């Protein structure tokens, strides 16, 4: 399996990681994790808990863009060991950092990591055209 596909798998796992990261915040801030209405409960979170929820929601969006970029590159025969691999690794690293910065409430760094990861998806698409 190629590096871009491993990065895609990593990106698919991230929203679940951020969901799990919200549990301690829910338990501390709200007393427990509401398994019946977790999305409603998430709206009550503040601070790092709200950041974990935001990171999860943003990752669901980002994985869609990266998946499409990866599909386009794959169908166009882009070399998965060259620049595509580099862009994929940078994308995954910046997505991990994005979530960490979201939880740590570091807005400028979060926006920077978001921008770089989005640029990597765009770069992959440009390589394919």
Indicate which CATH number applies to the domain containing 15: 1.20.120.550
How would residue 32 be classed by pLDDT, with cut points 50, 70 and 90?
confident
pLDDT of residue 61: 96
pLDDT of residue 93: 98
Could you tell me the residue range of the domain that residue 50 belongs to? 3-128
Residue 1: pLDDT above 80?
no
Q: Work out how many domains the chain is built from and give that number.
A: 1
Which tens digit of pLDDT belongs to each residue from 43-83? 889 999 999 999 999 999 999 999 999 999 999 999 999 99
Q: DSSP letter string over the chain?
A: --HHHHHHHHHHHHHHHHHHHHHHHHHHHHSS--SSSHHHHHTT--HHHHHHHHHHHHHHHHHHHHHHHHHHHHHTT--TTTHHHHHHHHHHHHHHHHHHHHHTT-HHHHHHHHHHHHHHHHHHHHHH-
């Amino acid at each position: 399996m190629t590096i871009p596909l491993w990065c895609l798998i990593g990106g698919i796992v991230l929203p679940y990681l951020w969901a799990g990261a919200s549990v301690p915040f829910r338990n501390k801030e709200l007393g427990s994790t509401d398994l019946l209405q977790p999305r409603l409960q998430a709206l009550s979170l503040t601070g790092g808990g709200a950041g974990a929820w935001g990171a999860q929601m943003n990752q669901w969006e980002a994985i869609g863009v990266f998946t499409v970029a990866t599909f386009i590159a794959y169908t166009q025969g882009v070399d998965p060991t060259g620049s595509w691999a580099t862009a994929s690794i940078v994308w995954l690293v910046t997505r991990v950092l994005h979530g960490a910065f979201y939880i740590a409430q570091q807005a400028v760094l979060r926006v920077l990591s978001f921008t770089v990861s989005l640029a990597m998806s765009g770069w992959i698409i440009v390589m394919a055209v």
